[in-house]
Structure formats: structure tokens, C-alpha cells
Amino acid sequence: MRKVLYVSPSDGDWKVHWQHDDKGSVFKRKEDAIADARKKVSHLPEGECSQIRVQKADGTFQTEWTYGDDPFPPGG
């Protein structure tokens, strides 16, 4: 199962948080939040599948990056 890390708008700031976990780090600039998300993902065990999903200010998704082993086709 892949771990998903979100970069989301939050009351005028940008929040970095794991899926199903409302706690996270808050940044004034979106670029700083993305840099923090990349740093967090780089510290996961090698081969562990993770994903960063970046939202726009309106809540729609702008982009995503997938790291590690992402099996195809996905299970399920």
C-alpha cells in the first residue's frame, strides 16, 4: 500500500500531511511545503511506495509524484 503525503491549502497557508492524518507541518509558501514533502518522502525506507499529491488553492489537484515500487497492475 502506498503512503500518500498531501500539500494542501490551509487558511491562507500550506499544510503538509499524511493521508488520514490531519496533523502536519504548516508553511507560508507553497514552494516551502513542497520542499518539505519531498524531504519527508526521501526519508522513507528504500523501495517503499509513496506519493506526493499537491493541491491548488481551490482544492483541485495540480500534480502528483510517485516514488519507490509502484506495482502494476495495482492490487484489488
Q: What is the pLDDT of residues 32-64, one digit of tens each?
A: 999 999 999 888 877 677 899 999 988 899 999
Would you tell me how many other CB atoms lie within 10 Å of the CB of residue 33? Answer: 25
Rounded-to-integer distance, Cα 38 and Cα 71, Å: 21
The answer to whether residue 22 is domain-embedded is yes
Q: Dihedral sign for Cα 24, 28, 32, 34, please.
A: positive
The answer to whether residue 33 is domain-embedded is yes
Residue 66 pLDDT > 80: yes
The answer to whether residue 35 is domain-embedded is yes
Number of domains comprising the chain = 1
The answer to whether residue 73 is domain-embedded is no
Residue 76 pLDDT > 60: no
Whole-structure pTM value:
0.82
Q: Which domain holds residue 8?
A: 3-67
